Amino acid sequence: MNKIDLNLCTHIVFSHAFVEDKTFRIQVDTSSPTTTPTFQELRNFESFEKFIALNKTNSRVKIMISVGNFTAESDNNFSKLVANRKNINIFAQSAVLFLQKYKFVGLHLHWIPTDKAGFASLALALKKAFYPHGYLLSAVGSPFENKIDAGTFFSSSSDCHGSCFIFF
């Protein structure tokens, strides 16, 4: 993390937290094996403080947490989450508590939704829950007009050569 030039950044997104498949709360998977020591270090809750401390060097940098990834398991958990309003509300409240506890300023949804109406309900619930606290909400999106026109608004950020975050 000490190699990040914070003068070049406006937002830094910690990757990844997950949707717990039974409680629909945010969790951080600390058991995921990896060979990159700095990535493994970031998988631990204790490293949140170190990560958040980056904005002491540049207070304009917004430190956010990403939830989800492009795996079938993540998609399944998000699909279950948006299946009903109760799950969405549990997640929204969980997100607020998580952001408060670890001092992130926002949440990034890293999910390509198969249920666009469910995704819209989730985004609206999060926006409503975040508004009183001033938290940010963003999602993976595509800058390509043909994907937006085709209704496939969401795509991998690897498709981008610029900003691919959609802020709500």
CATH code at position 108: 3.20.20.80
- List helix spans (H) across 4-161: 37-42, 47-52, 72-81, 85-102, 116-130, 145-149
Domain around 71: 6-11+26-141
What pLDDT score was predicted for residue 106?
Answer: 94
Mean of per-residue pLDDT scores for the chain: 75
Kind of pairing between the strands at 26-27 and 11-19: antiparallel
**Residue % of the chain over a pLDDT of 70:** 67
Please report whether residue 99 resides in a domain: yes
Please report whether residue 91 resides in a domain: yes
More confident residue, 140 or 23: 23
Q: Which of 23, 156, 152 is nearest to 81 (CA)?
A: 23
What phi, psi does 76 have (nearest 5°)? -60, -45
Question: For 118, what's the count of Cα atoms within 13 Å in the CB-facing half-sphere?
Answer: 19
Please report whether residue 35 resides in a domain: yes
Q: What is the biggest distance separating any 2 CA atoms in the chain, rounded to whole angstroms?
A: 43
Count of domains for the chain: 1
Please report whether residue 17 resides in a domain: no
CB-CB contact of 106 with 138 (8 Å): yes
Please report whether residue 166 resides in a domain: no
Please report whether residue 132 resides in a domain: yes
Residue 16, preceding bond cis, omega within 30 degrees? Answer: yes
- pLDDT tens for 22-58 read 898 988 754 544 444 444 445 555 677 777 888 787 7
- pLDDT tens for 83-128 read 999 999 999 999 999 999 888 999 998 887 778 888 889 999 999 9
Please report whether residue 111 resides in a domain: yes
Q: What does the DSSP 8-state code read for residue 28?
A: -
